[in-house]
Structures are given as structure tokens and as C-alpha cells.
Amino acid sequence: MNWLKPSWQAVLAILLCLIAVVFKDPNAGLNYWQSWGPMISLAVLTSLISMIRLAPAVEALVLLIGAHLVAWLLIRGIGNFEGEVLVPYLMALIAAWVLGINLATLAPYFLLLTSAWLLAWRGVAVLSSLQPIEKWARIALRLVIPAIFGAWILIIWEAVTRGAGIPFILLPPPSAIGARIAGSLPVLGADVRQTIFKAVIFGYVVGSGAGFITAILADRVPFLRRGLLPIGNMVSALPIIGVAPIMVMWFGFDWQSKAAVVIIMTFFPMLVNTVAGLAASGHMERDLMRTYASGYWPTLIKLRLPAAAPFIFNALKINSTLALIGAIVAEFFGTPVVGMGFRISTEVGRMNIDMVWAEIAVAALAGSVFYGVVALVERAVTFWHPSVRGG
């Protein structure tokens, strides 16, 4: 029996498929029963193949292809049904008792979805166990695993919202959000230019730069360090909802007031982290620099700033998300007829929730790209640090 290598995910997936067969109601009138045979057969076959001792890469490929095909058939089979009978998990028993809904209609759909998810889980687990020798393969693996994880978040979201009949006004499926994004590219592009390329980037650069320079001055002048840090901790706790309207009153309705909010939000994280980083170098290293008759500025440039680099980049990564949040929230309190925050607030009032989610998706993507760029720069600059080298 050395050729067998069963996993609990595959066994449980087969068990759920068998239970789904028991609950199957061919008279329910749902579109997905038309592809019932291929779905159940594919899920069971994929589970059985994964139990054979195969090469890990082959096993992962079989599992992921089978899981995604089952999910695709399941979602495609819903058609325009959109959950007229299916209800959310938590409401299943209540609906069955109050409305007389047959649980045989509910169970197979979600059992098959869970089976596909288990197969994908096993496939990702096998991929995670791989240790390729080539550098490009390691990089590809680091990218593929999060991509599969994110794809299955969208798959489950799509399947649950459509199959459970959740109203679009409460939670639209990803397909509706994607269609809205594709149909609103000019509007979304104008909002991104107004919010990110004007308010966020300007405020991020000015706020982070001012915080860094002030940290150098505070390190040089002990009086400033003792006075600024407590104030920084207090200001960092200020609610943005209270600060944003004041900035709008001071700097007007255009992007300058939003940039002012971003400057306030990014200044003190950079100040606090840089001051802490400048104190990170050890006494032995400082004593060594003194033996070389090194003054303050050579010591700062050659020893203390490199030691503070991880702290500085931590502040930059924190600020990359704070800046976007601050600019979007500030646009709720007065802005021209463009901007991500403006669009979200107005479309909520019009009940265009798919447009709201489209703006949220674009903001999340922009924030992730912003954070990723800072992280890549950090790896290039602090390649010597143990946290980057893995030491």
C-alpha cells in the first residue's frame, strides 16, 4: 500500500460529496442540477487521484485544476437563479421551519462548494511543501500561493452571495463589482488621479520627509526629543473625523486640504519610529566610531542611519496605508465632484453599492501596490539586515 497517500482533506471531500448525493433533490428545479453528474464525479475523481502517491507538483496541479473546475461548474450552474430558494447557512434552519424550504435544496450546493474548497486547500498545502532549487521557481511559488488564496476568497464570495440570494444592495458578488469597474474606468481613473496622485503622494512625501527631518533635529537637541515625542503620541491619537473638517475650512475644498490631513497622519509615525531607530545602534559601535574621532554627522550617516533603516521603512509602510485612508476620509467632508471619498459618499446615497465596492476595490489595489513598492525598496536598501536575509 505504499502507493497510497490519503489526506484528510481528500477523504472529507469524498464524504461531503456522498452526503450531497443523499440530499440531492432532482425536483428542486435548480439549474445547477444539470451539471450535477460532472461536478460530483470530478470532485470524487480528483480526491481519489490525490490519494495516489504522485510527485508533489503533479498532485498540486491535479488538485487545483479539479477544485477550480468544480467551483466553476457550480457557480455557472446557478445561472440567473441567484438564490431564489437557497438561503445563507445561518438562516437555513429558520427558513426551513418558517417558510417550509426543503433542506435538500440547500445542502448539496454548499457541500459541493466545501468539497472544492477542501481540494484547493490540499493543493495549496502541497505547493507550500515544495522547496525548489531554482530562484525563479521560489519566486513564482511565493506569488502563486497568495494568488490562489485570494482567488478562493473571491470564489467563495461569489458562490455564497449568488447562491444564498444575498441582495446586491447588501453585498454584490465579485462578478458584479468587476463589471462595474470595467464599465467605469474613466470615472475611476479620474478619482485615482485626484485622490492618490495629488493628495496622497504629496502628503505622504511631505509628511514623511518632515517627520524624518524633525527626528534628526530631536536626536540632535535633547530638549526637542523630550518635548516632541509626548506631543506626537497625543496628536497621533486625534480622530481623523475631527481633523478633516478643520483642514477643509483652512485649505479649501480641493486636494490641498486632503494633503494636509495626510501630512498630519504621516508626520508623527515617521518621527517616533526614526527617533527609536536612531537609538538602536549599540554602545560598542558608537565607542568604536569615537575611537576613530568620528563626529556627530559622520556617525549619523555611517552608523546610526543604517541601523535605523528598518524603523524608518516600517514607518513608511505604515504611512502608505494611513495616507490613503486619511485622504479618502477627508474627501467625505467637502471636495470637488471627483475623488474616491466623494464617489463613495455620493454613490451610497444613490444606493449604487456596486460602484461603492468598485471604489473600495480600486483603493485596496492601490494601497497594496503602494505598500509593495515600499517593501521592495526596503529589501533593496536593507539587504544586509537579518530580517531581510532571513537570519
The SS3 call for residue 4 is strand
**Confidence (pLDDT) at 25:** 58
For 39-84, what is each residue's pLDDT tens digit?
A: 888 888 888 888 888 888 888 899 999 999 988 888 887 754 444 4
CA distances (Å), origin 247, targets 209, 240, 333, 335, 378: 20, 10, 10, 12, 32
Return the C-alpha cell found at 284. Answer: 560598542
d(CA 383, CA 381): 6
**Confidence (pLDDT) at 359:** 92
Q: Answer yes or no: are the C-beta atoms of 335 and 277 closer than 8 Å.
A: no
Reported pTM: 0.78
Computed on alpha carbons and rounded to an integer, the radius of gyration of the chain in Å comes to: 27
Contacts of 86 (CB under 8 A, 6+ apart): 105, 106, 109, 163, 164, 165
d(CA 291, CA 369): 45
For cell 445561518, name the residue: 90
Residues in the chain: 391
Q: Answer yes or no: are the C-beta atoms of 326 and 269 closer than 8 Å.
A: no
Can you state the angle between helices 340-349 and 305-330, rounded to 10 degrees? 30
Domains of the chain: 8-166 (no CATH), 183-389 (1.10.3720.10)
The SS3 call for residue 52 is strand
The DSSP secondary-structure symbol of 303 reads I
**Confidence (pLDDT) at 33:** 52
d(CA 181, CA 345): 17
Residues of the chain with pLDDT under 50: 28-30, 80-102, 391
Instruction: Indicate the burial class of 109 (C-beta count within 10 angstroms; 0-12, 13-18, 19 or more).
Output: buried
Q: Answer yes or no: are the C-beta atoms of 382 and 388 closer than 8 Å.
A: yes
**Confidence (pLDDT) at 386:** 66
Which of 26, 12, 31, 6 minimizes the C-alpha distance to 112? 12
Instruction: Indicate the burial class of 241 (C-beta count within 10 angstroms; 0-12, 13-18, 19 or more).
Output: exposed
**Confidence (pLDDT) at 388:** 63
Q: Answer yes or no: are the C-beta atoms of 158 and 75 closer than 8 Å.
A: yes
Q: Answer yes or no: are the C-beta atoms of 362 and 340 closer than 8 Å.
A: yes
